[in-house]
Structure 1
Amino acid sequence: MTPGPRGPQAFTQDTAQVLAVDKKTKHLRYLPAGEGNGEMEPGVTWRGYVAQGMLLCPEPDCGLPFGRVVAGGGRRHHFAHRPGEGEHDAGTGPETLWHLSAKDVLARWAASQPSLAGWTLHLDDAPITLPDGWRRPDVLAVSPDGVKVAFEVQYSALTGTDWKARHDFYFKAGVVDIWLFAHHGPQWRAATARQLRRAELVWRDPDWAATVQLSGLHQTMLQHGVIPLWLDPTTQTIGTATTRVHAAHTSPDARLGEDAAYTLPPRRAFPACHIAADPLEQCDVDLAARELLTPTRRVHCKERDRFQADEQVAQERAARVRAQLHVQQEERTRRRRAAEQEKRRAIAAQVAEEQAEREKREHEELRRKEEERAAFEARQKMPLTQQFPPMFGQEPPSPPKPPWWKPWQRIARS
């Protein structure tokens, strides 16, 4: 997942002095890593040249010749003064030693780049002017047909607003601006323990050099599509802002696998990022993308394509799932509506049956009353002899004979 070899000392904030001014040519000499005991030129060793006093300290306020080459132990090979001489801090002076070193390293790299062959290089001596102001980049490369690439090495503090103004200035001037930040100072703050607990920072490649905070300046750059880069002139490496993220659609179980993670630039909401270090010699300028294309950025592009392809597959899968769920929901809705309609039909049939039964009973009751009324009216129209035939068919019975004692009772009273 990580491109190319990594220098073990990259972005360790090493203060070793690896640049010296050649007393003969007045140019800076760079001491490659591990070459302190080797030859500077055929037949001329670094130690011998230093012993002759031909390599001077590039610190603006110093200028004394280096007394020795330190090429032992675990530290990076570097120049050093004799004891008691050249006691100074590399960060003093109007321009820091590291800023001078970074510009020299960039100029040497640009001069050796095949893609920049034939380009004119300017080191702090070619301002770019517009009607509303001017800017002088640290290193400016100009092609024979007028294409300009400006390299800005930012060591001091800078706000996002100021960076945006400078970025817009270069864009208006038609200049490709590439920004590189220092590996120490205000542009380099190690990530906190709380930030390291974020899911994007837990996943880390063992070869990544460090994990740093993303300041407001870096957030502004990310907002405008510019990936922050850092330069370590001591090891001549470029650090690319990187994170290891998971897609939003990935299930928690799948996130445990390495294949589920993507190596991508940080998003604007991320408070910190990993630094993936690449040798400067393996980097190139991408004029179309207006950026310094590092091996890590090439990985980003591949991972972005893989991420987008996986996202497309996931979206299509999600669309199919949604379609299936929609079909199932429609089927459930159809069944529910059919059941509700069947229930309503059953209730309507029961109500109709009860209504019919009630109407039948009412009809029977009405018919019975009609028959009774018709029979009553018919009897009213008939003669009494027909209405009551027993009463008119024979003589009325004689009164009963009084008992034998009744006459005696009448005699006694009289």
Structure 2
Amino acid sequence: MGTARRRELMNSGPRRPRAFTQDTAQILAVDKQTKQLRYLPAGEGNGEMEPGVTWRGHVAQGMLLCPAPDCGLPFGRVVAGGARRHHFAHRPGEGEHDAGTGPETLWHLSAKDVLCRWAAAHPGLADWTLHLDDTPITLPEGWRRPDVLAVSPDGGKVAFEVQYSALTGTDWKARHDFYARAGVVDIWLFAHHGPQWRAATPRQRRRRELVWRDPDWAASVQLSGLHQTMLRHGVVPLWLDPTTQMIGTATTRIRPANTSPGERLWEDAAYTLPPRRTFPACHIAADPLEQCDVDFAARELLTPARRVHREERDRLQADEQIAQERAARVRAQLRTQQEERTRLRRAAEQEKRRAIAARAAEEQAEREEREQEELRRKEEERAAAEAWQRMPPAQQFPPMFEQEPPPPPKPPWWKPWQRRA
């Protein structure tokens, strides 16, 4: 279910007040006759509570009492006008109390009543038995009593825990493991105010995953250590606004830089997914409680936002697969090109080595030829010398025997002529 489809479902019914605004409207009252809680539906303050009995008339008779701890006073009027949600109110000067005090807050009580009404009307839980704070889950190491427990005819159990007070991640993990050992599907819902609701700071809202906005995202809240522990164990935090009967799902829009080691998405796309456990804040995607289902296989409350998460996760995985296949093709192409370049380089090197070897062989042949020529010349010279030595002197020096001997040298002019005796 995409975002457009979720908007269509949300806008198909009557106009709902904006969720998760920390509205303090009192929507529950105790019927003085039956001692049962009465829930005032949104926009029905001027209508009938029962056939022939209006909400205003029942309040005017003093038959609807305040369920707040240590109060019990009858409501004085029904506020049914303006932009606020229709609700009950005391007369001026009466019922001055804080709905967030006492052993059980009014909003905790309202949230449990809203869950019971939803479970009783849900088609998937039609044959289930509902228990409100009266049936414990027992194990040898101890017991726990969920706020709302739904038991199927075959013994399956779903525990709804509405957490308004502070809780550490370690304690939540211990309770979550307890329900898992007992075979109970535990669904945790947090309050829309108090210690479980801290608005994101301006600095946190400037983070990349929170810059993306959607009209269906009601608010931006901080993720405490408890919420990050839940994310670490695969549980997406949910919030409940009982005044509007809306479920808030932790949501972010992420543009993943790395889908897997060494891989990167080619498309510059963003995906609507649950926050990562390292994120300090997230958006709240508001969905009507009536559009939610219990996913027993995934052991969670399946909201429309969670359906979007799953579709986006599948889309991300498909994109990752496409990107990985594309990267594999590119790597194969690069590998082929590299192998071709290597082959050409080796062929060129071999050709170069062959040319060098041929040139060296030619040079060697030329050297050998010159050496042979030199040897032949020396041999000829040696043979000629030996033959010349074996010849008689007349043949060795023919000019010396063919010419007359030269006349005696003439004495110098300064020497006197010697007289002959």
State the TM-score, normalizing by the size of structure 2: 0.90
Of 163, 167, 172 in structure 1, the residue corresponding to residue 172 of structure 2 is 163
SS in 2 for 1:239: strand
Of 178, 185, 188 in structure 1, the residue corresponding to residue 194 of structure 2 is 185
Q: Does 1:273 align with 2:273?
A: no
Q: Deviations over 1:271-298 (max 9, x none)?
A: 2221111111111111122111112222
**Post-superposition shift, 1:132?**
0.9
**Post-superposition shift, 1:105?**
0.8
Of 356, 363, 369 in structure 1, the residue corresponding to residue 365 of structure 2 is 356
**Post-superposition shift, 1:402?**
5.2
**Post-superposition shift, 1:106?**
0.6
Find the aligned partners of 1:330 and 1:66 in 2 and give their Cα distance: 85
Q: Does 1:43 align with 2:52?
A: yes
Which moves more between the two structures, 262-271 or 321-330?
262-271
Of 139, 146, 170 in structure 2, the residue corresponding to residue 130 of structure 1 is 139
- Which amino acid letter does the alignment assign opposite residue 242 of structure 2? P
- Which amino acid letter does the alignment assign opposite residue 87 of structure 2? H
Q: Which portions of structure 1, spanning 4 or more consecutive aligned residues, are displaced by more than 4 angstroms?
A: 400-403, 405-409
Which moves more between the two structures, 317-326 or 127-136?
317-326
SS in 2 for 1:274: strand
What is the aligned partner in structure 1 of residue 79 from structure 2? 70
Of 99, 123, 127 in structure 1, the residue corresponding to residue 108 of structure 2 is 99
What is the aligned partner in structure 2 of residue 53 from structure 1? 62
**Post-superposition shift, 1:401?**
5.5
SS in 1 for 2:217: coil
What is the aligned partner in structure 2 of residue 153 from structure 1? 162
Which moves more between the two structures, 317-326 or 373-382?
373-382
**Post-superposition shift, 1:102?**
0.7
Q: Does 1:392 align with 2:401?
A: yes
Q: Does 1:329 align with 2:334?
A: no
Q: Deviations over 1:229-266 (max 9, x none)?
A: 11001111111111222354444xx53xxxx3322222
Which moves more between the two structures, 10-19 or 27-36?
27-36
SS in 2 for 1:141: strand
Q: Do 2:136 and 2:143's aligned partners in 1 also have CA atoms closer than 8 Å?
A: yes
Q: Does 1:371 align with 2:371?
A: no
Q: Do 1:283 and 1:292's aligned partners in 2 also have CA atoms closer than 8 Å?
A: yes
**Post-superposition shift, 1:23?**
1.1
State the TM-score, normalizing by the size of structure 1: 0.92
**Post-superposition shift, 1:144?**
1.2
SS in 1 for 2:10: coil
Find the aligned partners of 1:166 and 1:29 in 2 and give their Cα distance: 31
**Post-superposition shift, 1:409?**
4.2
Find the aligned partners of 1:196 and 1:358 in 2 and give their Cα distance: 85
What is the CA RMSD across the aligned residues, in angstroms? Answer: 2.2
**Post-superposition shift, 1:71?**
1.5
Q: Do 1:247 and 1:311's aligned partners in 2 also have CA atoms closer than 8 Å?
A: no
Find the aligned partners of 2:203 and 2:337 in 1 and give their Cα distance: 45
Q: Does 1:118 align with 2:127?
A: yes
- Which amino acid letter does the alignment assign opposite residue 83 of structure 1? P
What is the aligned partner in structure 2 of residue 5 from structure 1? 10
Of 221, 245, 252 in structure 1, the residue corresponding to residue 254 of structure 2 is 245
- Which amino acid letter does the alignment assign opposite residue 386 of structure 1? Q
Which moves more between the two structures, 388-397 or 48-57?
388-397
Q: Do 2:265 and 2:320's aligned partners in 1 also have CA atoms closer than 8 Å?
A: no
Find the aligned partners of 1:394 and 1:50 in 2 and give their Cα distance: 172
Q: Do 2:198 and 2:222's aligned partners in 1 also have CA atoms closer than 8 Å?
A: yes
Of 278, 284, 295 in structure 1, the residue corresponding to residue 293 of structure 2 is 284
Q: Deviations over 1:319-338 (max 9, x none)?
A: 21221111111111212222
**Post-superposition shift, 1:173?**
0.4
SS in 2 for 1:9: coil
Q: Do 1:247 and 1:307's aligned partners in 2 also have CA atoms closer than 8 Å?
A: no
Q: Once the two structures are aligned, what percentage of the paired residues are identical?
A: 84
Q: Do 1:282 and 1:294's aligned partners in 2 also have CA atoms closer than 8 Å?
A: yes
Q: Deviations over 1:350-389 (max 9, x none)?
A: 3333333333333333332332233222222322222112
Q: Deviations over 1:66-88 (max 9, x none)?
A: 11111222222111111111111
Q: Which consecutive residues of structure 2, in runs of 5 or more, have no partner in the other structure?
A: 258-263
Q: Deviations over 1:72-116 (max 9, x none)?
A: 222221111111111111111111111111111111111111111
**Post-superposition shift, 1:400?**
4.5
SS in 2 for 1:156: coil
Q: Deviations over 1:108-141 (max 9, x none)?
A: 1111111111211111111111111111101001
Q: Does 1:343 align with 2:352?
A: yes
SS in 2 for 1:209: strand
Q: Do 2:265 and 2:319's aligned partners in 1 also have CA atoms closer than 8 Å?
A: no
Q: Do 1:9 and 1:76's aligned partners in 2 also have CA atoms closer than 8 Å?
A: no
Q: Does 1:86 align with 2:95?
A: yes
- Which amino acid letter does the alignment assign opposite residue 376 of structure 2? R
Find the aligned partners of 2:279 and 2:355 in 1 and give their Cα distance: 63
SS in 1 for 2:221: strand
Find the aligned partners of 1:371 and 1:216 in 2 and give their Cα distance: 107
